[in-house]
Amino acid sequence: DGGITQSPKYLFRKEGQNVTLSCEQNLNHDAMYWYRQDPGQGLRLIYYSQIVNDFQKGDIAEGYSVSREKKESFPLTVTSAQKNPTAFYLCASSLGGKWNQPQHFGDGTRLSIL
């Protein structure tokens, strides 16, 4: 079955530590996205990528970094510069990154601070 796989499901970060969240898709989609979800709020865009080796900042990119070395992979690093990292992180992809194409989501990674 095609889909998006996020790992791990739960992640704990110590103060001053960088952590990396994995996102892999086998849908052959060109565009990939990272969103952050806080309780009682909608999703906010962190970064997105429409093509390999290229990505753009979203609305809340500070304290995060990404890479897109392969079409199927779009890992997100939460750096120590992100002062409030506790949240639910969702990865998504779409076929061509166009406005009329729906995005498909993974099951998320819940990040907590120790």
Where does this chain bind other proteins (CB under 8 A)?
4, 6, 31, 33, 40-45, 48, 50, 56, 58, 90, 92, 94, 96-108
- Mention every residue, 6+ apart, whose C-beta is less than 8 A from residue 84: none
CB of 82 to other proteins, least distance (A): 20
Number of CB atoms found within 10 A of residue 34's CB = 26
Bridge pairing between strands 19-25 and 4-7: antiparallel
Q: Nearest-CA neighbor of 37 among 102, 92, 94, 100? A: 92
Looking at beta carbons only, is 43 or 52 nearer to other proteins? 43
Looking at beta carbons only, is 22 or 101 nearer to other proteins? 101
Looking at beta carbons only, is 16 or 42 nearer to other proteins? 42
